Amino acid sequence: MKILEQKIQKDGRILGADVLKVDSFLNHQIDPELMQAIGLEFAALFANEKIDKILTVESSGIAPAVFAGLALHVPVVFARKNKSLTLPENVWTADVYSFTKQTTNHIMIDHRFLSANENVLIIDDFLANGQAAEGLLKIINAAEANVVGVGIVIEKTFQKGRQILDEHGVRVESLARIKSFENGQVIFL
């Protein structure tokens, strides 16, 4: 997606060897016009699929997921990151190791918001090592719902997320695919 790549080139900041900061338009401040274009792009990519619901993880997945939900006219559910030790009842849960924060989050979705046989599209901001998407897949399986595909705003192809999702046999669509960071520059695939 050209305008997304241009935005990443202009405003993205590379941190260390493998992290891209995009907090000026996606992860802290949000660019609504870009998010709207992203939502329309996901809707076009998955136009031939039957989608009942979008799932994402708080908080950075919510903006692109809501705009995709708006374009597809379906509700959006975000998995909450549970910080307390006691789990509420009637929730689907998964453990997700966060690559950027180096901690494990327990994510959860209330049974009321995900039912058997629902067709679910996963949306997230980044695909790095695939842990967040895999956690959502686990929850979708537990709920006996169906996964339609995974829509990613920014994929880093040098990490193993794509391979993990391929092993699950899931369709993955990424709007920007980063091959490497070289001399402070983002190189797209």
Q: Which residues are annotated as a binding site for 5-phospho-alpha-D-ribose 1-diphosphate?
A: 128-132
Which of 158, 183, 184, 157 has its CA nearest to residue 172? 157
Residue ranges at the known binding site: 20, 27, 128-132, 156
Nearer to ligand 5GP, 27 or 146 (CB): 27
**H or E segment at 40?**
helix 32-45
Residues sharing a CB contact under 8 Å with residue 138, sequence separation 6 or more, in sequence order: 94
Region of residue 15 (left: phi > 0; alpha: psi -120 to 50; beta: else): beta
Distance, CA of 36 to CA of 189 (rounded, Å):
24
136 belongs to the binding site for ligand 5GP (CB under 6 A):
no
CA-CA-CA-CA torsion sign (53, 56, 58, 60): negative
Min dist. Cβ of residue 144 to ligand 5GP (A): 23
Nearer to ligand 5GP, 61 or 69 (CB): 61
What stretches of 46-160 show up as alpha helix (H) in DSSP? 62-72, 131-142
The total of other beta-carbon atoms located within 10 Å of residue 162's CB is 21
Min dist. Cβ of residue 92 to ligand 5GP (A): 18
> Interacting stretch for ligand 5GP, rule CB under 6 A, among 30-38, 97-105, 110-118, 138-146?
97-105
Nearer to ligand 5GP, 151 or 161 (CB): 161
Long-range contacts of 9-13 (CB under 8 A, 24+ apart): 9/186, 12/186
Nearer to ligand 5GP, 78 or 92 (CB): 78
Residue window 55-74: x/- pattern of binding to ligand 5GP, with contact defined by CB under 6 A:
-----xx-------------
Which of 80, 46, 45, 37 has its CA nearest to residue 61? 80
161 belongs to the binding site for ligand 5GP (CB under 6 A):
yes
Min dist. Cβ of residue 106 to ligand 5GP (A): 14
Q: Which one among 66, 80, 125, 165 touches ligand 5GP, defined by CB under 6 A?
A: 125
Binding site for ligand 5GP (CB under 6 A): 19-22, 27, 60-61, 98-100, 124-132, 161
